[in-house]
Amino acid sequence: MKRYVRPLAAWLLTAVAALAIAACGGSSSSSSSSSAATSSAAASSGGSSSGPINVVVGTAPDSLDPGFGYTTQAAEADWLSYTGLTTYAHANGQAGGQVIPGLATALPTVSADGKTYTATLRPGLHYSNGAAVKASDFAYTIERSSKIPWGGAGQFYGGTIVGAADYAAGKAKSISGIKADDATGKITIHLIAPYGAFDNVLAFPSSGLVPSGTPMKNMPNSPPPGVGPYKITNVVANQSFQVVKNSHWTPIPGIPSGFSDISVKISSNVSSNALAVLQNSADVFDWADTIPGSLLPQIQSQASSRYSKKVMNSTYYVFMNTKTKPFSSQLAREAVVTGLDQRAMSRLGSGTLIPGCFFLPPQMIGHPTGQCPYGNPANGGDLAKAKQLVKQSGMAGTPVTVWSETRTPRQQWMTYYTQFLNQIGFKASQKVIADATYFPTIGSLKLNPQTGFADWNQDFPNPIDFYLLVQGSAIQQTNNQNFGQVNDPHVNSTSAKLGATPGSKLASIAGQWQALDSYLAQKAYIGVFGYQTFPAFTSTRIDLSSAIFHGLYGWDWSSLKLK
């Protein structure tokens, strides 16, 4: 048998060796260039100073079609490509929350009863395919987004515009509350009731005009033409897309025309995305992704000048069911707010949380300036006091089910919270639900969940967007978002009144929002455990002097240019 070996081994070895040489060749030469190690994220790796800016995104947009897309990843691209009658100022942070005229000549005028909005379309506008923009396209756009339907359509169109719900349900051929005159460009919108944030609704990318006759279906592969400094092209499902300068764009005051084309690559490994930006083989780390805590020390030491944490308007909290034991007792709720250690929660979340106790986040108008009612959260929780409160409430030993999502760090937060509830005297156990079904599950009134994870990210910078989650009228059988079933007459009436105030007068009622938000915290209706910070992280190629980090959409891609 022994004699078989040599010739056989010879021809097999040749084959294996060929592969091995390929492998070794790969290793030796790619190790010479350090960028090769992480170029995974950006195929067209860096080096050249011209060319597109490479953005790496961890999660694919739900759809780049503005008639469907709702996630931040979609909005980043869509708000530059689909301008509505109004849009947001291209400015840093909170200043970016200001609504400015978009395709309308001015901000819409509001009738005295607050129910009729009138605007006039700018003349001479063109879509990215060259077609002229008509006033009736606005009506068509709202109809299309209602029909597809866009995730916010039921609430923001159906709930506000006369006839939009009937249209979506197929009971009408058009939305009766919208009138448009192509000859004059005049657009009139009738609302069911005064809605202070309607200027913001008009600024959603889903309200960004698309041509009449665009198919009434989600078109993620080839998003429809829009009006904006950029347009979206070359979409490859779950892999990549490009946002390029729109040659048919006519400049509008307040909307910059942009510098570079943007090339977006979707890659779910955020660690390798972060390293790619660190090593300049990609230019922008998507702000909505979290830089893994394990890479932060390296990034902070090697790239501190191009990494910072930004606060956006989002709040993490535990909801507490005010209708069911034990959290029907205010003392029990106070115990949670008093005792939960937000510093530990922050560690579990890679240090991305900033502590706080108010529902309205720090950058939002109406965020209270006063002290937290149950101890300063930055100092950690008062466990002894919390235990005492539980005893006092008479709820000690009550079984509690803590609901949580699967994803990191939300699951870890709730594991810790469960442990905490047990420490202060409840009998808590954790129930983990698949991400895809979490909110539908806890949104079922029949389930009547006791407590668990919840969060809210702003749709627009108006406190009413948060207070929709604690209004008694928001409690519904399925898809309930008022998880704690908070139904306090003071909260209901005040938030309704403040919410109807037109957005332009928001600054004048800031004090009243602050008072209401302090009241909510005083009653311990929800257990806020922090506000998330987001990473602003770019390569050395990006000129940060002109770059805008927008309060709503994160990096303003039209402000990015190469050094």
Report the site for other proteins in 218-237 (rule: CB under 8 A).
Answer: 218-221, 236-237
Q: Which of 120, 206, 263, 272 binds other proteins (CB under 8 A)?
A: 272
Contact 80, 249 (CB under 8 A): no
Contact 273, 56 (CB under 8 A): yes
Q: Which of 234, 379, 434, 473 binds other proteins (CB under 8 A)?
A: 434
User: How far is residue 420's CA from residue 14's CA, in Å, rounded to a whole number?
Assistant: 63
Query: Three-state SS string across 419-445, please?
Result: HHHHHCCCEEEEEEECHHHHHHHHCCC
Cα–Cα distance list, 500 to 105, 195, 388 (Å) = 24, 5, 42
Helix axes 330-339, 383-393, angle to 10 degrees: 170
Report the residue number, 101 or 224, with the smaller CB distance to other proteins.
224
Question: In terms of DSSP bridges, do strands 53-57 and 284-285 run parallel, antiparallel, or are they unpaired?
Answer: parallel
- Residue 313 lies near other proteins (rule: CB under 8 A): no
Q: Which stretch binds other proteins (CB under 8 A): 34-42, 178-186, 534-542, 546-554?
A: 34-42
CA nearest neighbour of 316 among 534, 532, 553, 519: 532
Contact 358, 313 (CB under 8 A): no
Considering CB under 8 A, how many residues would be counted as binding other proteins?
107
Cα–Cα distance list, 324 to 394, 467, 520, 521 (Å) = 14, 21, 18, 19
Please report, as residue ranges, which positions from 85 to 144 form the binding site for other proteins (by CB under 8 A).
none
Report the residue number, 40 or 314, with the smaller CB distance to other proteins.
40
Please report, as residue ranges, which positions from 412 to 431 form the binding site for other proteins (by CB under 8 A).
412, 415-416, 418-419, 430-431
Contact 21, 15 (CB under 8 A): no
Beta bridge partners of 186: 120, 181
User: How far is residue 318's CA from residue 525's CA, in Å, rounded to a whole number?
Assistant: 10
Report the residue number, 38 or 514, with the smaller CB distance to other proteins.
38
Report the residue number, 260 or 272, with the smaller CB distance to other proteins.
272
Spacing of C-alpha 293 from chain mean position: 21
Contact 241, 54 (CB under 8 A): no
Please give the DSSP secondary-structure letter assigned to residue 415: H
Report the residue number, 514 or 532, with the smaller CB distance to other proteins.
532
Q: Which stretch binds other proteins (CB under 8 A): 198-206, 249-257, 470-478, 494-502?
A: 470-478
Cis check: omega of the bond before 440, within 30 degrees of 0: no
Please report, as residue ranges, which positions from 162 to 221 form the binding site for other proteins (by CB under 8 A).
165, 168-169, 217-221
- Residue 478 lies near other proteins (rule: CB under 8 A): yes
Q: Which of 376, 408, 448, 504 binds other proteins (CB under 8 A)?
A: 408
Please report, as residue ranges, which positions from 342 to 401 form the binding site for other proteins (by CB under 8 A).
343-351, 380
Report the residue number, 84 or 368, with the smaller CB distance to other proteins.
84
- Residue 485 lies near other proteins (rule: CB under 8 A): no
- Residue 477 lies near other proteins (rule: CB under 8 A): yes
Report the residue number, 34 or 111, with the smaller CB distance to other proteins.
34
Please report, as residue ranges, which positions from 438 to 457 form the binding site for other proteins (by CB under 8 A).
439-441, 443
Please give the DSSP secondary-structure letter assigned to residue 403: E
- Residue 502 lies near other proteins (rule: CB under 8 A): no
Q: Which stretch binds other proteins (CB under 8 A): 184-192, 207-215, 262-270, 528-536?
A: 262-270
Please report, as residue ranges, which positions from 274 to 303 form the binding site for other proteins (by CB under 8 A).
275, 292-297
Spacing of C-alpha 267 from chain mean position: 18
Q: Which stretch binds other proteins (CB under 8 A): 96-104, 120-128, 436-444, 537-545?
A: 436-444
Question: In terms of DSSP bridges, do strands 526-538 and 353-354 run parallel, antiparallel, or are they unpaired?
Answer: antiparallel
Beta bridge partners of 110: 117
CB of 433 to other proteins, least distance (A): 7
CB of 15 to other proteins, least distance (A): 5
Length of the chain: 563
CB of 291 to other proteins, least distance (A): 9
Report the residue number, 43 or 95, with the smaller CB distance to other proteins.
43
- Residue 16 lies near other proteins (rule: CB under 8 A): yes
Query: Where do we find the tokens 């169109």?
Result: 157
Report the residue number, 100 or 468, with the smaller CB distance to other proteins.
468
Contact 109, 118 (CB under 8 A): yes
CB of 5 to other proteins, least distance (A): 6
Q: Which stretch binds other proteins (CB under 8 A): 31-39, 181-189, 202-210, 555-563?
A: 31-39
